[in-house]
Amino acid sequence: MSDRQKELLRQHALLREHLAWLEQEIARESVAPAVDQSLSPAGEPQIQAQFQAQAHPNISPPAVPVAPVDADALLNDYAAEERHDPNATKRGCLLVFALVLGMLVCGVAAAYFVFYAHR
């Protein structure tokens, strides 16, 4: 499996987990007890009812129920695979440093021979 595919699957799992959380929050808010009407202005309950009816007319529940536990297990699998070897990183940094230093020395030597060797 390629790295890009792994990353896409990881992000897909995160999105599914987030959607499951959103569904839970929407369900919790839809069954939450109504606010005491004596504390709110007279026209507010009608406006809220109209807003709730118009807010999400095209949204339907997901076709496949999403279990957050599955997403957590998938994320744990990918987190275990993503660990890097610090020695390989250190070798790579030292290699890049040596290459840049070598290029700098070659550039200075070339500039010396081109501009100052004939004097």
Domain ranges, ordered by start, for the chain: 3-83, 85-119
DSSP 37: G
Q: pLDDT for 87-115, tens place per residue?
A: 888 999 999 999 999 999 999 999 999 98
pTM: 0.34
Torsion angle, alpha carbons of 70, 71, 73, 76, to 10: 180
In the predicted structure, residue 84 carries a pLDDT above the cut 80: no
pLDDT at position 4 is 86
